[in-house]
Amino acid sequence: MSGFGKLHLVPNALDFGAAGTPDRLDALLPLDAIRAAAGLAHWACENAKTTRAFLKRVDAVVPLALTLQQIGIVELPRPPKGREAPAAPAAIEALLAPARAGHDLGLLSEAGLPALADPGAALVAAAHAAGIAVVVHAGASAIALALAASGLNGQSFAFVGYVPVAADERTARLRALEALSRREGQTQLMIETPYRNAALLEALLAALQPQTMLSVSVGLTLPVAFTRTAAVAAWRQRPIALPAGLPAVFALLAPR
């Protein structure tokens, strides 16, 4: 491990730069995380353009150690279009070159904590395998915030990511998750692409039993953020329209 740099997991804000969010990044992220980001000269990320935008927000709070032009930003490899296969190990290993040369490397996702409901876990695993120290910095996670705000079981829970888009497959998946929740007493959390939020809510209300508790958290950390938790029967009696442009987290807990 001697002579290696470290891999820093740097949190991003959850606002996606939406209108009405605080201008200063230190209103959304801990100052220690911002300071760490300001000092990094090498980054692995989902999107180079939005990483530069993030670093501009960092610079407004803590001046960057280097200019944006001097900072190395490399995007995480993506699987071939239409395939879920993981990136080739060689492509992941290549991203660790700065750390192997003794420089600290940052990992950044589009929002929230990298490698948690976001790409990056393969890079973290590769760092561990190579003996490169991993440092995680505190920051908001939409999953954790939504679970805390839901009032559902926070002692046993699972994040299941995205459910199928096809109607029949989606219904089957939601009912399977409901059955698992009932059997284990476990909260099941999921997300959807924002423009499909309304479709997922409609599917949940159609598939789940009336007594199952459903919680939806929208736009967390934004001024317009809200969380609603109620039985499916109550949701059906008083439905709400979900905004198509804001991220949402959905959680269900079926009574035993």
For residues 132-155, give the mean pLDDT.
96
Burial degree of 92 (CB within 10 A; 0-12, 13-18, 19+): buried
Structural domains of the chain sorted by starting position, each given as residue range(s) with its CATH number in brackets: 7-136 (3.40.1010.10), 142-253 (3.30.950.10)
Question: Could you tell me the pLDDT band of residue 81, with boundaries at 50, 70 and 90?
Answer: very low
d(CA 172, CA 162): 14
| Alpha helices per DSSP H over 211-252 | 232-237
For residues 140-168, give the mean pLDDT.
96
User: What's the token pair of residue 215?
Assistant: 């919680």
- Which residues 6+ apart lie within 8 Å of 165 measured at CB? 196
- 216 or 222: which leads in pLDDT: 216
| Alpha helices per DSSP H over the chain | 31-38, 48-59, 89-95, 97-100, 121-130, 142-150, 167-184, 197-207, 232-237
Q: What's the pLDDT at 32? A: 96
Q: What's the pLDDT at 216? A: 98
With tokens 């561990």, the residue in question is 128
